[in-house]
């Protein structure tokens, strides 16, 4: 049987390619769920798939058998002509009914299980969709954050989903299925994360220019870490923390400018401050680190001074839109109280570092089409733009808001 060695090799190669695709790094998958909701849906999907395969094989076998067994042969008598067969018709009505019962029972069970009322002790989170970012409120703990969600592994979490403007859809592929955010009503979704992990979230309903840029991160942490996170979020920003000050002073000195005013002495770091319950940056899985490229030419060259940035922030346009607890009260844009402890900016689009913050403040619409965050740089703003130094200072201040 070695008549077609090349064909065999080609077949083997094709098979290898197909199988290797199964082993790709695909973190944002709905398969291999990390919540009870996901496991329930997975189980139902597999069950229906296997039953479908069984039906397919039976039907196709019968078909192929009939085609070969009863095909026309030379000299064969004409086929028997029949009209109506009660037994046959009852049989082929009952078989699909039985198949449908096998589909309906587990489907309805899964629907009832996943759409039931959440347990009373569930973590409550209010999700508000905005063009194009996510607001997260924790009413039980009385704090608000944005674009990065912390939940507790093993504890049910119940979301109340609303939108500030157009329709959005809340989707964390690894944790649970999508649910829409609909104007003038509240939708609900709850699930129980079953493992510690970091996951990507997406908007899954077209909502305008930056729909594809409306992302978020979800961190499922231990109960102890979640308690720390909550305690930290309930405080005002832990500021000042000497983040950029060392480099900032060095750079401004090199430029011959006036030395920056020394930041107020940092309070002695307590356990809560050194560990804010947030996901350790050096342990971020690579799939939650955004790789969106910066717009060309937006490299920062000026180091910022956090203390100077703090003073400037209070007089800058920022306060009109953003809340920093105890400092400003804007509600149009994301709450920035603990922005320095988030891993990303611009709703999960860019890593949260100095270069990206500076570029964002200078010209956000260039980094996220349609963004309501206005361009504040000299080059982009029509009038009243900020200097590179002022923007670097604000960035340094924001990075310090742990």
Site residues, ligand CUA (CB under 6 A) = 129, 132, 168, 203, 205-207, 211, 214
Residue closer to ligand CUA by CB (options 208, 385) is: 208
Minimum distance between the CB of residue 166 and ligand CUA, rounded to whole angstroms?
7
Residue closer to ligand CUA by CB (options 167, 321) is: 167
* DSSP symbols for 187-217: EEEEE-B-S-EEEEEEE-S--STTGGG-EEE
Minimum distance between the CB of residue 58 and ligand CUA, rounded to whole angstroms?
43
Residue closer to ligand CUA by CB (options 162, 168) is: 168
Q: Which two tokens stand for residue 60?
A: 């196709």
- Residue ranges of the alpha helices (H) in 115-167? none
Minimum distance between the CB of residue 168 and ligand CUA, rounded to whole angstroms?
3
Question: d(Cα 285, Cα 198) in Å, to the nearest integer?
Answer: 7
List C-alpha distances in Å: 349 to 76, 181, 225, 294: 72, 21, 25, 10
| Residue 180 CB neighbours (<10 A) | 17
Minimum distance between the CB of residue 320 and ligand CUA, rounded to whole angstroms?
23
Residue closer to ligand CUA by CB (options 133, 199) is: 133
Residue closer to ligand CUA by CB (options 131, 176) is: 131
List C-alpha distances in Å: 1 to 10, 14, 114: 16, 20, 54
Minimum distance between the CB of residue 373 and ligand CUA, rounded to whole angstroms?
16
Minimum distance between the CB of residue 207 and ligand CUA, rounded to whole angstroms?
3
| Residue 330 CB neighbours (<10 A) | 16
Minimum distance between the CB of residue 129 and ligand CUA, rounded to whole angstroms?
6
Residue closer to ligand CUA by CB (options 152, 205) is: 205
Burial class (CB in 10 A: 0-12, 13-18, 19+), 98: exposed
Question: d(Cα 251, Cα 351) in Å, to the nearest integer?
Answer: 23
Question: d(Cα 211, Cα 225) in Å, to the nearest integer?
Answer: 32
Residue closer to ligand CUA by CB (options 39, 178) is: 178
């Amino acid at each position: 049987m070695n008549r077609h060695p090349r064909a065999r090799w080609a077949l083997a190669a094709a098979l290898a390619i197909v199988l290797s695709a199964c082993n790709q790094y695909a973190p944002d998958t709905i398969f291999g769920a990390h919540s009870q909701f996901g496991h329930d849906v997975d189980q139902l999907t597999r069950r229906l798939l296997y039953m479908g395969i069984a039906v397919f094989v039976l039907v196709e076998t019968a078909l192929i058998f009939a085609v070969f067994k009863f095909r026309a042969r030379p000299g064969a008598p004409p086929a028997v002509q029949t009209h109506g067969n009660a037994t046959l018709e009852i049989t082929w009505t009952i078989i699909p009914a039985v198949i449908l019962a096998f589909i309906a029972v587990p489907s309805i069970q899964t629907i009832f299980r996943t759409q039931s009322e959440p347990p009373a002790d569930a973590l409550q989170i209010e999700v508000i969709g905005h063009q194009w970012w996510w607001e997260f409120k924790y009413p039980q703990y009385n704090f608000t954050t944005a674009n990065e969600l912390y939940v507790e592994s093993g504890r049910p979490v119940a979301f109340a989903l609303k939108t500030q403007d157009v329709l959005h859809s809340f989707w964390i592929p690894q944790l649970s299925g999508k649910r829409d955010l609909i104007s003038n009503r509240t939708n609900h979704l709850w699930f129980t994360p079953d493992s510690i992990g970091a996951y990507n979230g997406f908007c899954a309903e077209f909502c305008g220019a930056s729909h594809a840029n409306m992302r978020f991160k979800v961190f499922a942490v231990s109960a102890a870490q979640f308690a720390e996170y909550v305690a930290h979020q309930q405080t005002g920003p832990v500021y000042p923390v000497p983040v950029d000050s060392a480099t900032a002073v060095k750079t401004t000195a090199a430029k011959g400018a006036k030395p920056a005013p020394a930041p107020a002495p940092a309070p002695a770091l307590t356990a809560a401050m050194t560990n804010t319950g947030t996901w350790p940056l050096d342990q971020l899985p690579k799939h939650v680190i955004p790789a969106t490229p910066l717009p060309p030419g937006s490299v920062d060259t000026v180091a910022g001074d956090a203390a100077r940035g703090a003073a400037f922030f209070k007089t800058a346009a920022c306060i009109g839109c953003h809340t920093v607890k105890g400092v400003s009260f804007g509600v149009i844009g994301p709450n920035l109280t603990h922005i320095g402890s988030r891993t990303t900016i611009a709703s999960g689009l860019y890593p949260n570092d100095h270069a990206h913050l500076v570029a964002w403040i200078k010209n956000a619409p260039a980094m996220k089409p349609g963004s309501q965050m206005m361009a504040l740089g000299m080059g982009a703003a029509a009038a009243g733009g900020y200097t590179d130094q002022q923007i670097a200072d604000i960035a340094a201040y924001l990075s310090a808001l742990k």
